[in-house]
Amino acid sequence: MTVNLKQIAAEKAVDDFVRDGMTVGLGTGSTAYYAIKRVGELVKKGFRLRCVATSVQTERIAKECNITIVDVDDVDHIDVTIDGADEVDPGLQLIKGLGGALLREKIVAAISREEVIIVDDSKLVEKLGTKGPLPVEVLMLGHKKTKIALERQKCVATLRTKEGIPFVTDGGNYIYDCKFDGIDNPFFLETRLNVIPGVVDNGLFLNMATSVIISSADGSVRRRDK
């Protein structure tokens, strides 16, 4: 039987961190999908949970599971958010955004008391930016000029497309996937990117993760805490 690493990590995260009465942030993407399904099982058992969705897609899946969704502006905090990541370094710094929801994910993470990340061990890196690109969300207006400014940061910036046309985020923006030859100082780069006119935000999630649940090919799961 094939082991579903994403499902194993997601279900452990929910079982370890979600308690009755909590406000829970629901991530976006193929790994977070299994966490949403697990939260739905808890609701079916009688857990009273309010959840904040990080994307239109997540909200749709949650409602199919009869999960109560509330607007982020209607809560004063989120007890725990469970989400995936594209890269995780030894200090639990992250790159996120390949699922296209980095802006809403970062807003939700910022008000979460705990940010629990679920990954398989293929997402672990010694240095951020060594495996995949760094997503950067930008305004449509002047986005080609924004691309030029992004590439001054020593990356190759590629406009994300879907079915041959530019991908549009839930916020109505574009994403440039920026390929670096490793990111030596993510905190410095985050500042450099966010001061570029036209940049909305970037996929560096720094000092946000409090725990990471990691599944391995042999079916084992381990947890690393900040």
Tell me the catalytic residues: 105
Cβ–Cβ < 8 Å for 63, 94: no
In our burial notation (b when 16+ CB lie closer than 10 A, e otherwise), range 179-198 reads: ebeebeebeebbebbeebeb
Return d(Cα 131, Cα 124) in angstroms, integer. Answer: 9
Nearest CA-CA partner of 104 in 161, 145, 148, 58: 58
Return d(Cα 94, Cα 70) in angstroms, integer. Answer: 26
